[in-house]
Amino acid sequence: QVQLVESGGGLVQPGGSLRLSCVAPGNIGNINTMGWYRQAPGKERELVASSSGGSTNYGDSVKGRFTISRDNAKTYLQMNSLKPEDTGVYYCKANIRLRGYPYAMDYWGKGTLVTVSA
């Protein structure tokens, strides 16, 4: 079972910054897209940012404030100018083709809570 481990969540005041990290197991195969999703209370999970093959994609609400970066089996989400509406559980997702498997699958972390409040 592939386990993605997120860290870096916490409580921050509006306008503040946080950096999330996600680590996938090493030497397990080909890691394609890695990204971040979030789910606020009572809302559906939504894309925050993703990184694939050197290109990045962002949700409209975070463009210009969040930056995703990638380092092999790790991905980071730098979050600046945080707003109360950024509050939620942030999940890391990775699309991985395990060594010896013919196809790739999506794997999720357990999530890390980000709370933006004064």
Model pLDDT, residue 27: 84
> Which amino acid makes up residue 97?
R
Model pLDDT, residue 1: 81
pLDDT by residue (tens digit) across 18-59?
999 999 988 889 999 999 999 998 999 999 999 998 899 999
Confidence of residue 8 (pLDDT cuts 50, 70, 90): very high
